[in-house]
Amino acid sequence: MENLRNTPLLSRHQQLHALLAPFGGWNMPIQYEGIIAEHRWCREQASLFDICHMGEFIFRGDMEESGLEDIFTFSVKSIPIGRSRYGFLLNERGGIIDDLIVFRLGEDEAMVVVNAATSDNDFAVIRSRLKPGVSFTDISAATGKLDLQGPLSRQVLVEKFGEQIAVLPYFKFIRTTLLGVDAVISRTGYTGELGYEIFLPADKVGELWDLLLADQRVKPAGLGARDVLRLEVGYSLYGSDIDEATTPLEAGLGAFVNMDKKFIGKEALQKQQREGLQKVKAAFQVHSRRSPRHHYEICFEGEAVGTVTSGVFSPMLGCGIGIGYVRPEIATLGAQIAIMHDKVTMDAAVVELPFYKGGSLRS
């Protein structure tokens, strides 16, 4: 534990008697009241998440001349100012170094938001692919990030910070002033509910946390609830569902890859398109309340055909759900499979994503 990083909110989590555990090299809150209760609150009210562990980088310069335009699986220069875009940083084999979001802050300025565990490596890889002398800065340590998620999140933020938040569409953000400092409020999240991600200086994040939690509609939620929420809507978790050995095509995320532009890993993806995929991501629903877990075997007609990469009990569906990788011919909707571990066997069926379709995401 002594090597783990702490967010600026550690003392507040301890005061709330949070269960803390390692995640991506950080000492993070897993739960406060309980995963199921926090999950339900987010689906019905508004939940506040400490996401200060994420990485943030600032780019300044000409996006084409610098080489930035060729780094990701999407075009940065075509993102309108004030909007953001999701996609990937790939290796030469087409494997996912990280999934990330780029925020177009200005004509020659962008913020790259990456996963905590991969942050240092991401910065080094992107830096190495940019031309020498380009301004590219890691602002992670100086940046705090809170996510307010849930159907009441808009109402809460509008009452506290103004009507400008009310008109924000999905994947759009504003640069504004909160608590006397510069901040970014983005209509994005990882829960499948209406929600916002708020970036501001790390030394002000505690004040914002206290202000939001003073509202009776808002409760804190940990990474345990966040994991259930994201899996119910089919979002991939880096390090579990996607990694450097998995391509966006295998992960069913080809929609976030622009094959009409140049990027590292493109040739490997084109080869996969020509030759066909050897594995694909499959979503499954268990015919009981049992929970599948990471590394459980996926079996078809008595043969082990894959491995579970994420699995939980879904409070919204009242059964176990999960995703994993199998041969393409097995990932057929309705296919009957079994999830096995030691003496445990769970009957399940391949289904389409998202598992849960009733969220307020686009409200």
Closest CA to 349 of 362, 325, 330: 330
SS3 percent helix, strand, coil of the chain, rounded to 5, is 25, 35, 40
Whether the CB-CB separation of 223 and 51 falls below 8 Å is answered with no
> What CA–CA distance (Å, rounded) separates 104 from 91?
23
Q: In angstroms, rounded to a whole number, what is the distance separating the alpha carbons of residues 53 and 29? A: 11
Q: What is the mean pLDDT of each run of 10 residues along the chain (363 residues)?
A: 88 98 96 98 98 98 97 98 98 98 98 98 98 97 98 98 96 97 98 98 98 98 98 98 98 98 98 98 98 97 96 98 97 98 96 97 89
Per-residue confidence (pLDDT) for residue 180, from 0 to 100: 97
Tell me, yes or no, if the pTM score tops 0.85. Answer: yes
pLDDT for position 2: 62
Structure tokens at 268: 């490997």
Characterize the bridge pairing of strands 55-60 and 135-138.
antiparallel
| Residue 57 CB contacts under 8 Å (≥ 6 apart), including other chains | 111, 112, 114, 122, 123, 126, 136, 137, 138, 139, 140
Q: 309-333: buried (b, 16+ CB within 10 Å) or exposed (e) per residue? A: bbbbbbbbeebbbbbbbbeeebbee
CATH number of 5-51+141-232: 3.30.1360.120
- The residue to which tokens 């980088």 are assigned: 57
- 85 three-class SS: strand
Supply the pLDDT for residue 363. Answer: 87
Phi-psi region of 360 (alpha: psi -120 to 50; beta: other; left: phi over 0): alpha
In this structure, the strands spanning 46-50 and 218-220 are parallel
Domains of the chain, by residue range, sit at 5-51+141-232, 278-351
Q: Output the pLDDT for position 34.
A: 98
Asked if the 278-351 domain carries CATH number 2.40.30.110, the reply is: yes
